[in-house]
């Protein structure tokens, strides 16, 4: 299994343990399938609560990001976890 680095804590973990996010239309969305052909990055589930404080999306998108974008992303990821 390939290893990827979390954008928040910079720990390296196996790809299937991480949440994949992609940038699309100047927003960040959760990549549920792991197959979207967009520029992506990874987060560990433990770091999900830290992404807004650490301004992860601002760093990736290079512009300001509203709290709603973070909330939508977090809700989406939690939805994925409920399904599995």
Helix (H, G, I), strand (E, B) or coil at 9: coil
**Tokens read off for 70:** 């973070």
Shortest CB 47 distance to Zn ion, Å? 3
For residues 4-33, which are near Zn ion according to CB under 5 A? 6, 8-9
Burial class (CB in 10 A: 0-12, 13-18, 19+), 13: middle
Residue 47 found at the interface with Zn ion (CB under 5 A): yes
Shortest CB 24 distance to Zn ion, Å? 22
Which residues make up the interface to Zn ion (CB under 5 A)? 6, 8-9, 44, 47
């Amino acid at each position: 299994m390939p290893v990827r680095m979390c954008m928040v804590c910079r720990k390296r973990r196996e790809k299937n343990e991480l949440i994949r996010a992609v940038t699309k239309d100047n927003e960040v969305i959760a990549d549920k399938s792991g197959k979207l052909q967009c520029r992506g990055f990874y987060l560990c589930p433990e770091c999900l609560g830290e992404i807004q404080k650490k301004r992860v999306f601002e760093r990736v998108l290079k512009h300001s990001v509203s709290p709603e974008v973070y909330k939508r992303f977090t809700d989406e990821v939690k939805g994925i976890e409920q399904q599995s």
